[in-house]
Structure 1
Amino acid sequence: MRKTKSARIKLAALLCTAAGTALAQSGVTLYGVADVGVEYLSNAAAKGSKGSAYRLSSGNMSTSRWGLRGVEDLGGGLKAVFDLESGFNLDDGGQGGNRLFDRSAVVGLAGDFGQVTLGRQTTPLYDTTIRLDPMGFAPRYSLFRSDAVLAGRADNAIKYRRSVSGLTVTALYSFGRTGAGEVPGDNKVDRSLGGSLYYENDTFAAGLVYDEYQGTSVAARNQKDRRVALGASYAFGPLSPYAGYRWLNGDVGGEVRSNLYWLGLRYKATPALSFSGAAYYTDFRNSNADPMMFAASASYVLSKRTDVYFNAAFARNKNGSELGLNGFNATTGAPNSVIPGRNQTGVVAGVRHRF
């Protein structure tokens, strides 16, 4: 009887040790960002009227979102990884899109070979250009507002990524970027692919990326949009200048040929106070409708997780161009659209909390 009881105690202790080891090797993290502020826009077209707009806006410096990220140690240096991320609106409590996990839904394997993930995920174009934008893709106002595809995601995608000595190599192939693909007998429909090289050390960063996708129907399968982007930044102590360029040649949804240029600065005045500013210029071929946008931001850190900010921007439109501070060629009547050919001024002040 004593031996049986002793054996049970030893077995229980062994199971507790094994469970503790498993928990130490695996884990799931709940994370997110809650960002909201008050915004003013001039020359805005909303709800059938045209004039100034005042509103509470969610996701100004960072998109408000929550997610679950996990990793499991499989042994031998191999790990299973997953990421599920959903955007939401703090102003009304609604979802950021029409999907539960609109921002990310992936699972994959990682090891010495790098990382391979499958599902809905950011493109190499997104991963690279967000690091080359001095505004860091702030939802209001930044580089991707001059080209929304820069902040793209792809459904049905396989993605490979590996980093060695500061150099990150990324490649992606999607069987159906928007979900319209994967058509039996025709693998061109909605197909997307891309690749990037990004190098970063303590003071210097540079990136080069290629992105391509095709039409979303059988009739448009041979239409193709291609983009190439490159840029760099260099840190001189607390001051970091940025420069970048994006080339576009496409005919998906209409022929577009354009060049997008940007310059900017980041300045860390104190450990808590930082500033950033940028200028973006879009040059359309065979057109004089070449808009510009200027943006500036100030952020003050209150704690490790919370900061307050103030952003201001100005979009210059001419010859009918429609660059709004919250989106280029925004749908007429949307709260963030601009009256065609009119300039737009915007300011937003808010608070951001990370968890």
Structure 2
Amino acid sequence: MKKSFLALALMGAFSGAAFAQSSVTIYGIADVGFQSLDNGTAAGRFNKLQSGQQNGSRLGFKGTEDLGGGLKANFVLEQGLNLDDGSSAQGRTFGRRSTVGLAGDFGAVDLGRDKSPTFKFFDAYDPFGSGYINSGNGLSNLYFIGGSSTVAGTAAGSTGRPSNSIFYYTPGNLNGFSASAQYGFGEAAGDNTAGRSLGLNLGYTVGALNVGYSFVKDNAQALAAGPINAKKANTVAASYDFGVAKPVFIYQKVEDEAALALDQKIFTLGVTAPIDASNQVIATYTKIKDSTRLSTANLSTVGDAKQFAIGYSYSFSKRTNLYAAYANTTQDANSQKAGAAVKGADVKELTFGVRHQF
């Protein structure tokens, strides 16, 4: 039985409108495994079962209706799941994605909540695919990916996923060029700037070469009627698929408008090396150079952090695979990156698990 037929039957239990869709599909990922993490806490190492290490576990519904003339309506409702305890992730029902939109010759426009363009940028270029290491967040846990704006002291939605947003994607027939953009409303009364978020991706693919640029800016407002601290990042990346190996280079500069201005540069060298159709090895080396001053009176800077990571995946089929990864982060005395419990602490993480896609 096809998934789309099963999905139609299930959705019909909730609303007869489901049968008006051209197609509705249920999909998801079930991912859970073991994590051993030493982040410098006085009590010692954490050993635990953790959901969503290679990819976040999820349950999703997506549908498309052909409106004629090349125009289509579409929707996606995607819920994050924690398989280790059965709870909902992202702190909301459909926290991963909740969008509705139109697509046609002009491209596609979606309204709602989704990953920021910069988050999707790292999904594409990070050899770990924004997973495996750094508590299942891949390199996106070390870089700034947006989706963390606040308005008048309210909590941010969740890192990397802006809410209240308009998303635009160019059509796929632009001779290798592509672009996507995002505008997120802060929804602050009388202020169109507070809490606003912006994102832009530009890409070009020719043969085995893939190059791209990403921009993200979040306007966070810590207190009602308080100043806005705009945090932004510019990122460039390039990869080339030689077949036997796919190297990648990523560079990002992050800054903000705080009184003690953030000044951070990050670069990664990585590689994906398929051994055969079932086995794959991936590795990255990342350096964070944080030149932010310790205080307005202290010219000393936060300092550097360095991470080496290696991962492995074995595929039983197109849907099911085993994975394992190890990451080691070392940093200067005033640096506190990669989830370190205290400044200067080294962080060591070992993960392995199983992922099934449906």
TM-score range, shorter chain: 0.7 to 0.9
State the Cα distance separating 1:147 from its structure 2 match. 2.7
State the Cα distance separating 1:111 from its structure 2 match. 0.2
- Equivalence map 1:82-231=2 (5 Å): 82-138=75-131, 140-141=133-134, 142-147=138-143, 149=145, 152-162=160-170, 163=172, 164-176=174-186, 182-216=187-221, 217-231=223-237
State the Cα distance separating 1:253 from its structure 2 match. 9.4
Matched to 1:121, the amino acid is D
SS in 2 for 1:155: coil
Seq. identity, %: 35
Partner of 2:11: none
Partner of 2:336: 322
Asked if the contact 1:322–1:340 (Cα under 8 Å) also holds between the matched residues in 2, the reply is: yes
Using a 3 Å threshold, how does the CA distance of structure 1 residues 236 and 346 change in structure 2: closer, same or farther? same
Decide which structure has the larger Cα Rg and report it.
Answer: 1
Asked if the contact 1:64–1:90 (Cα under 8 Å) also holds between the matched residues in 2, the reply is: yes
Matched to 1:50, the amino acid is A
Moved more, 76-85 or 215-224: 215-224
State the Cα distance separating 1:317 from its structure 2 match. 2.0
Cα distance per residue 1:124-176 (max 9 Å; x no partner): 11122321212211152421121353561111101110132332111111112
Matched to 1:169, the amino acid is A
State the Cα distance separating 1:25 from its structure 2 match. 7.6
Q: Flag structure 2 segments of 5+ consecutive residues without an equivalent.
A: 1-17, 147-158, 294-300
Asked if the contact 1:198–1:206 (Cα under 8 Å) also holds between the matched residues in 2, the reply is: yes
Using a 3 Å threshold, how does the CA distance of structure 1 residues 154 and 139 change in structure 2: closer, same or farther? farther
State the Cα distance separating 1:223 from its structure 2 match. 2.3
SS in 1 for 2:168: strand
SS in 2 for 1:310: strand
CA distance in 2, matches of 1:54, 1:148: 28
1:343 aligns with 2:339: no
Partner of 1:7: none
Partner of 2:155: none
Partner of 2:149: none
Asked if the contact 2:74–2:100 (Cα under 8 Å) also holds between the matched residues in 1, the reply is: yes
- Equivalence map 1:261-280=2 (5 Å): 261-280=267-286
Q: Flag structure 1 segments of 5+ consecutive residues without an equivalent.
A: 1-21, 177-181, 328-336
CA distance in 1, matches of 2:105, 2:227: 37
1:234 aligns with 2:235: no
| Superposition TM-score, scaled by structure 1 size | 0.84
Cα distance per residue 1:27-83 (max 9 Å; x no partner): 1111111111111122443xxx52011111111111111111111000000000111
Asked if the contact 2:169–2:181 (Cα under 8 Å) also holds between the matched residues in 1, the reply is: yes
Asked if the contact 1:240–1:265 (Cα under 8 Å) also holds between the matched residues in 2, the reply is: yes
State the Cα distance separating 1:205 from its structure 2 match. 0.8
Asked if the contact 1:50–1:339 (Cα under 8 Å) also holds between the matched residues in 2, the reply is: no
| Superposition TM-score, scaled by structure 2 size | 0.83
SS in 1 for 2:343: coil
Partner of 2:26: 30
Asked if the contact 1:124–1:209 (Cα under 8 Å) also holds between the matched residues in 2, the reply is: yes
1:52 aligns with 2:62: no
CA distance in 2, matches of 1:253, 1:37: 42
Partner of 1:15: none
Asked if the contact 1:214–1:221 (Cα under 8 Å) also holds between the matched residues in 2, the reply is: no
CA distance in 1, matches of 2:328, 2:247: 20
Using a 3 Å threshold, how does the CA distance of structure 1 residues 80 and 55 change in structure 2: closer, same or farther? same
Partner of 1:353: 356
CA distance in 2, matches of 1:264, 1:245: 12
SS in 2 for 1:130: helix
Matched to 1:307, the amino acid is N
Asked if the contact 1:215–1:252 (Cα under 8 Å) also holds between the matched residues in 2, the reply is: no
SS in 2 for 1:128: helix
CA distance in 1, matches of 2:228, 2:275: 51
State the Cα distance separating 1:288 from its structure 2 match. 4.4
CA distance in 2, matches of 1:86, 1:166: 32
Asked if the contact 2:302–2:334 (Cα under 8 Å) also holds between the matched residues in 1, the reply is: no
Using a 3 Å threshold, how does the CA distance of structure 1 residues 252 and 92 change in structure 2: closer, same or farther? farther
Partner of 1:247: 253
CA distance in 2, matches of 1:97, 1:152: 11
Using a 3 Å threshold, how does the CA distance of structure 1 residues 298 and 253 change in structure 2: closer, same or farther? farther
Using a 3 Å threshold, how does the CA distance of structure 1 residues 32 and 104 change in structure 2: closer, same or farther? same
State the Cα distance separating 1:23 from its structure 2 match. 7.4
Using a 3 Å threshold, how does the CA distance of structure 1 residues 254 and 135 change in structure 2: closer, same or farther? farther
Asked if the contact 1:129–1:229 (Cα under 8 Å) also holds between the matched residues in 2, the reply is: no
State the Cα distance separating 1:202 from its structure 2 match. 4.0
Partner of 2:321: 307
Cα distance per residue 1:154-202 (max 9 Å; x no partner): 11101110132332111111112xxxxx122111110111211012344
